[in-house]
Structure 1
Amino acid sequence: MSYKSILLNLGIDGPIEPLAQVGIDLAKRFDAKLIGFCAADAPLPVTMAPEGAAIAAELWEQSRIEIRQRLNDRHSKFDRLVAGAVSAEWRDTVENPDHALARASLLADLVVTGASLGASTGDAYRMADPGSLVLRAGRPVLVAALGATSLPLGRIVVAWKDTREARRAVADAVPLMAMANEVIIVAIDRNPSDWIRDGVKDVASFLAGHGIKARTEILKSDEEGNRLVDFLASVKADLIVSGAYGHSRLREWAFGGVTRSLLDEVWLHRLMSN
């Protein structure tokens, strides 16, 4: 089991070098094709006056021309950074980044993106929403730590909860865990039961079948998200593997949840599946 194609989502604003280096690093490790990708669009200006429609259309088209120019610049920078280091190709489009990236994800085994603002995604016309991407891509999504230029795999933590999303994430992350020095499976519950303990053991058994030795931790807490983040910091985790949005996304935004908490921790590398 391996990743043979990696889709690297590069934003239209800001430097691309750190995230591109993360993608190149992963592509080298797995001998995978690296697909550089960038999408952005401009909102159509709103005007109430009929005579303003032509001006609004002209302004909109000018904004889209500027986006095309920036996409060309991203493409050139990507080519220079890759420079024959790995097999690579480039794709871009003037389109809503969420829609375009979800559609392009079918090209890859793994999608890599950034989230400099955490769960608060900012301008939806110029950057993809990582939460939306995890829900729509149908692929595991690696949300890279802010400013990181590589993905260290010394210690990987699996945030375990017996949900479809977490089971999918564990299977999707096997290629990465196979390279790790240490894997920890952690479950957090206010009143841990034998059912939870048995589930954690079963995850360890599944990983053992892939030649991955994992130790387990069961933590008692009412604050699942906060306790998990504290644990990740205490063990100096290099990567957290988790399911995403076991509850509805609306509920997570209204009341908080583990997925939102992890997306807000921009110092972390996070692999999420849904």
Structure 2
Amino acid sequence: MSYRDVAVHLTLDPRNEMRTRLAIALARRFGARVSGLYTVPPPNVPYYMGEYIPTELIQKQMDEAQRASVGAREAFLATCRDAGIEHRWLSSDMAPVEALRLGARASDIVIVGQPDPNPSDPASIPYGTDVLPHELALQAGRPVLAVPYAGEFGEIGRNILVAWNGKREAARAVHDAMPLLRSAETVHLLVVAPEKKGRTPLADIAEHLQRHGVRLQSAIVDGNGSGQRKVGQILMAEAQGRGADMMVMGAFGHSRLREMVFGGVTETVLSGMTLPVLLSN
């Protein structure tokens, strides 16, 4: 298994170039093509004001969105040409989750950005991206690489932390990340749970990864009965302490209301991430 098609989400966002460079780095490593999928933001019209907004203003917003897409297209194509990477440009006026859900299924991995977790102006967040990483990971059927809102990530996957709990979603994430895991210099396989007598939760998956030639370290961190939010914080602290440049984890989905009220490992990591996170469901 390898990555031969890498999709990257682009929109009205100054982080387009950083995500494109990361996609190019992955494509160069695996001999892949990069597909830039641009989602055109719709007019910003509150539903309760629709009939009061002049059509001229709506048309102006649509024209500005189209002009922005032309600039993004030219920047993407130039960056890929300069890198000597096979590439293509795709554009959609569908909501980002829907457009990427469809586009990701014809790709091996899709790169998306984390929305600003503390926006000074919530209206400045590109349309539909506020829930993009988590919702897409639950729907795409492909691994989703979520990239933090801040920081530079030109190349990743040399020192990887894998969050393991033995569940289906974690197994899916490990399988989907295998090209990166095999080429990594170090992989930290981590379980956040009290150690039990006898065979540990790590034993079988550690043996499986070693059979694939993964250079593996493994550990069990005693979470002392921590709740899901605390487990997410432990994972992020362990990733930082071990010098990881990315994390691999299963995307565990509940209703948005339940996630907002009770939190969750996935939600905690995605809201406070400081390194790219590969998610699968």
Please give the TM-score of this superposition, normalised by the length of structure 1: 0.89
Equivalent residues of 2:7, 2:37 under 8 A apart: yes
Aligned-pair Cα RMSD in Å = 2.4
Q: Which residue of structure 1 aligns with residue 213 of structure 2?
A: 211
Gaps of 5+ in 1: none
Once the 2 structures are TM-superposed, how far is the Cα of residue 160 of structure 1 from its aligned partner?
0.5
Once the 2 structures are TM-superposed, how far is the Cα of residue 135 of structure 1 from its aligned partner?
1.1
Cα pair distance change 1:234/1:44, threshold 3 Å? same
| Deviations 1:226-268 (CA, angstroms, capped at 9, x unpaired) | 2222111111111110001155554332111211121123421
Distance 1:226 1:247 in 2: 19
Once the 2 structures are TM-superposed, how far is the Cα of residue 213 of structure 1 from its aligned partner?
3.0
Q: 2:76 matched to 1:74?
A: no
Q: 2:240 matched to 1:233?
A: yes
Equivalent residues of 2:110, 2:143 under 8 A apart: yes
Distance 1:14 1:243 in 2: 28
2:32 alignment partner AA? A
Equivalent residues of 1:11, 1:127 under 8 A apart: no
Q: Which residue of structure 1 aligns with residue 107 of structure 2?
A: 108
1:67 alignment partner AA? A
1:202 alignment partner AA? D
Q: How does 1:68-147 map to 2 (within 5 A)?
A: 68-83=66-81, 85-118=84-117, 123=125, 125=127, 127=129, 129-145=132-148, 146-147=150-151
2:177 alignment partner AA? A
Distance 1:98 1:184 in 2: 31
Q: 2:165 matched to 1:161?
A: yes
Equivalent residues of 2:11, 2:126 under 8 A apart: no
2:179 alignment partner AA? P
1:253 alignment partner AA? M
Aligned to 2:11, what secondary structure does the other structure show?
coil
| Deviations 1:142-168 (CA, angstroms, capped at 9, x unpaired) | 112433242233311110012111010
Q: Which residue of structure 1 aligns with residue 175 of structure 2?
A: 171
Aligned to 2:202, what secondary structure does the other structure show?
helix
Q: Which residue of structure 2 aligns with residue 243 of structure 1?
A: 250
Q: Which residue of structure 1 aligns with residue 204 of structure 2?
A: 202
Q: Which residue of structure 1 aligns with residue 156 of structure 2?
A: 152
Aligned to 1:83, what secondary structure does the other structure show?
helix
Distance 1:239 1:47 in 2: 42
1:163 alignment partner AA? K
Match of 1:264 among 260, 266, 271: 271
Q: 2:12 matched to 1:12?
A: yes
Distance 2:257 2:6 in 1: 29
1:125 alignment partner AA? Y
2:25 alignment partner AA? D
Distance 1:136 1:118 in 2: 22
Distance 1:241 1:15 in 2: 22
Cα pair distance change 1:127/1:184, threshold 3 Å? same
Q: Which residue of structure 2 aligns with residue 42 of structure 1?
A: 43
Equivalent residues of 1:143, 1:271 under 8 A apart: yes
Aligned to 2:162, what secondary structure does the other structure show?
strand
Equivalent residues of 1:240, 1:270 under 8 A apart: yes
- Which has the higher mean CA deviation after the structures are superposed, 124-133 or 83-92? 124-133
Cα pair distance change 1:150/1:124, threshold 3 Å? closer
Q: How high is the sequence identity, in percent, across the aligned residues?
A: 32
Distance 1:28 1:154 in 2: 14
Once the 2 structures are TM-superposed, how far is the Cα of residue 178 of structure 1 from its aligned partner?
0.8
Distance 1:58 1:194 in 2: 70
Distance 2:118 2:111 in 1: 16
Equivalent residues of 1:117, 1:266 under 8 A apart: no
